[in-house]
Amino acid sequence: MKNNFDKRPLQFYKQEIQIPKIKETIDTRLEQTKLNETQKTQLKKWFHKKVSGTVKRQEYNQDGKKITQASLDAILNHALGMLEVRINIAEENRERLNPQLLTKKGMENEIKSHLSSTAKKKQNFVLVAMDLDDFKTINDTSGHPEGDNVLRSFGAAISDNIRTGDLGAHYSGDEFGILLFVQGIPNEKQEETQERIQEILKRAIESISEKTERQDKKKQEISTGYRIITPDEQKTSMNIATWMKEADEASTFSKRMKIILEKRGENSNSASRIVNAQIKEKMPQEFSEEEIKFATLLHSIHRPLRDTFPTTTDEEILQAVREIYKKLKNNEQST
C-alpha cells in the first residue's frame, strides 16, 4: 500500500516545484539568507548526499532495481523538508555562542529524522545531558564575558571530541547535549552494551573537561547523565521529550553526587559521575538517605542564596545549609 506522501507535489519553502528546477529553487532560497558561501555550499552538499544516499539504499534493498518516480518524489520531498529545517537552524545559529552545535529544537528534529533508520540498523541512541559545574561562580567572579568564553570553549571541545557522525547541541545557558549512535553487537547482553557506552562517554567527557579553557586555569568539571534508547524502543515509541527529561534528571543526580562525594572527601571528577538514567534508581544504594537529602537541599537552594547574597562565599553558603538541614531534621524527628 502506497503512502499518500508519495502522491504529493514537491514542496519547498511553501511552494511547489518541478524536479528540473530543484537546484535553481534551492539556490534562490539560499540567496535570501545571510549565510556565507561556505555554509551555503555545505547545505547543498548535504542535500545531494542525503538524496543520493537514500536512493542507493532503496535500490540496494530492491536488489539493484531502479526506484519508481513516486519513491524518488517521496525521497526528494523528505530531503527538501529537512533542508529547510537546516537552513532555519543555520540562520538561528549566526547569533549563537556555539553556531557549530545544534539547538535543542535542532536536536529534537535530528532524533525524529534518525529514528526509523537507526532502528533498522540496530543502532542504540544515547541521549546525553551535560551541565557545567559551578558556572554561576564564573559569571559572578569573572564577569559574563568570561562566562561566554567558557561556553564557547566548552562547545568547541564538544565538537572536537565527539566521534564522526555523533551530534552535539547547546540547549541554553550552561546546558549542553550529545547524541551518540552506538551500533548493537549480536548476542551482546544489555549490561555489556551499557559498559561499552559508559567507556565511550568516559573518554569523551574526560577530553571535553580537559580542553575547556578557563581564565583561572581550573579544570572545568561537568555533571553528565544519559538515556539509552534501544532499537526496539525506537520502533515502538517516540517519547523524545521524556527521553531528554530523563537524561537531564540523571545529570542533576550527577551534580548531587558531586556534593556528596566532596562532603566525604572523595574523588568527584566528571568522568566518575556519568549517570545512566535507567539505573539511576539503583545508585542511591551507594549513599545514605541523609546524604541524598542534604545534597538535594544544597543543590536546590545554592543558586537562590548566591543570587540573594552575591558576596557570600560557597563555604559560607555550605555552612548555612548545614545549619538549615540540621534544624529541619530535628524538627522532623520531634514531630
Return all residues near 180 (Cβ < 8 A) that are at least 6 apart: 124, 125, 126, 128, 162, 163, 166, 197, 200, 201
More confident: 302 or 81? 81
- Convert the pLDDT of each residue in 281-297 to its tens digit: 555 557 777 777 887 78
More confident: 170 or 18? 170
Sequential DSSP letters for 205-231: HHHHHHH---TT-----EEEEEEEE-H
Say which range, 157-171, 177-191, 281-295, has the weakest mean pLDDT: 281-295
Please give the Cα distance from 89 to 36 (Å, whole number).
Answer: 14
Q: Is pLDDT above 60 for 207?
A: yes
pLDDT at 141: 84
Please give the Cα distance from 295 to 261 (Å, whole number).
Answer: 10
Q: Which domains does the chain have, with CATH numbers?
A: 4-93 (no CATH), 104-279 (3.30.70.270), 288-335 (no CATH)
91-96, long-range: CB < 8 A, 24+ apart: 91/33, 91/34, 91/35, 94/34, 94/35, 96/170
Q: Is pLDDT above 70 for 105?
A: yes
Name the 3-class secondary structure at 267. coil
More confident: 250 or 293? 250
Of the ranges 1-15, 50-64, 225-239, the best mean pLDDT one: 225-239
**Crossing angle of helices 289-308/314-334, nearest 10°?**
130
Q: Is pLDDT above 60 for 15?
A: no
> What is the average pLDDT across 185-211?
89
Report the percent of the chain where pLDDT is more than 90. 27
Contact 224, 268 (CB under 8 A): no
Residue ranges of E strands in 243-314: 274-276
Please give the Cα distance from 266 to 286 (Å, whole number).
Answer: 13
Q: How confident is the model at residue 1 (pLDDT cuts 50, 70, 90)?
A: very low
Return all residues near 77 (Cβ < 8 A) that are at least 6 apart: 5, 8, 10, 11
pLDDT at 5: 35
Place of cell 566548552: 154
Q: Is pLDDT above 60 for 307?
A: yes
**Crossing angle of helices 144-161/190-211, nearest 10°?**
130
pLDDT at 53: 84
What pTM value is reported for the model? 0.65
Inter-CA distances, 85 with 29, 81, 88, 102, 173, Å: 12, 7, 5, 11, 23
Q: How confident is the model at residue 3 (pLDDT cuts 50, 70, 90)?
A: very low
Cα 17 to chain centroid distance, Å, stands at 35
Q: Is pLDDT above 60 for 196?
A: yes
Nearest to 27 by CA among 14, 16, 12: 12
Q: How confident is the model at residue 6 (pLDDT cuts 50, 70, 90)?
A: very low
Please give the Cα distance from 151 to 236 (Å, whole number).
Answer: 36
